[in-house]
Structure 1
Amino acid sequence: MSTFSDELSGQDAEKKPRTLLDKVLDGLARLCIIVAGVLMVFLIITFGWLVFGRYVLNDTPTWVEQSSLVIVVYITCLGAAAGVRNNSHLSIDFVREGLPALPREIMRYIADLFVIVFGGFMAWQGWIMVMDNLARPVPIIGISESWRAAPLVVCGFLMVLFAGINIIERAIGTAQGEH
Structure 2
Amino acid sequence: MTSDTNTPTRDPVFRVLDLTARACMTIAGIQLVTLIAIFGWLVFGRYVLNDTPTWVEQAALMLVVWITFLGAAAGVWNRAHLSIDFVREMMPPVFRIPLRWLAVLGVLIFAAYLAWYGWDLAEKTWRRRIPMLAIAEGWRAVPMAVCGVLSVFYSLYHLAMLVRGQDPAEL
The two structures share one fold, judged by TM-score above 0.5: yes
Instruction: Please state if 1:129 is matched with 2:131.
Output: no
**1:22-101 correspondence to structure 2 within 5 Å:** 22-101=14-93
- Which residue number corresponds to residue 8 of structure 1? none
SS of residue in 2 equivalent to 1:89: coil
2:111 paired residue number:
119
Q: Offset of 1:177 from its aligned partner?
A: 4.4
The alpha-carbon deviation at position 174 of structure 1 amounts to 4.8
Code of the residue aligned with 1:89 in structure 2: it is H
Q: Give the CA deviation at 1:92.
A: 1.6
Measure, in 1, the Cα distance between the counterparts of 2:71 and 2:2.
20
The two structures, once aligned, show a CA RMSD in angstroms of 1.9
How many correspondences in the alignment?
169
Structure 1 residue 97, shift from structure 2 partner: 1.2
Quick one: which amino acid aligns to residue 138 of structure 1?
A: I
State whether structure 2 residue 131 is matched by structure 1 residue 139.
Answer: yes
State how far apart, in whole Å, the 2-side matches of 1:110 and 1:177 are. 14
CA-to-aligned-CA distance 1:50-97 (integer Å, 9 cap, x gap): 000011111000101001101100000000000000011112211111
1:10 maps to which residue?
none
Amino acid at match of 2:36: I
Q: Quick one: which of 140, 147, 152 aligns to 1:155?
A: 147
Moved over 4 A (4+): 174-177
Matches of 1:64 and 1:87, distance apart in 2: 33
Contact 1:87 1:178 in 2 (8 A): no
1:17 has 2:21 as partner: no
User: Identity over aligned residues, as a percent?
Assistant: 48
Give the structure-1-normalised TM-score: 0.88
In the TM superposition, what whole-angstrom CA distance separates every residue of 1:17-63 from its partner, at most 9, and x where no partner exists? 21111111110100000000000000000000000001111100010
Gaps of 5+ in 2: none
SS at match of 1:72: helix
* Distance in 1 between residues matched to 2:28 and 2:67, nearest whole Å: 5
Q: 1:96 to 1:178 in 2, by over 3 A?
A: farther
Residue type at the aligned position of 2:145: V
Q: CA deviation at 1:175?
A: 4.8
Q: Aligned AA for 2:26?
A: I
For 2:117 and 2:21, the matched residues in 1 are separated by: 22
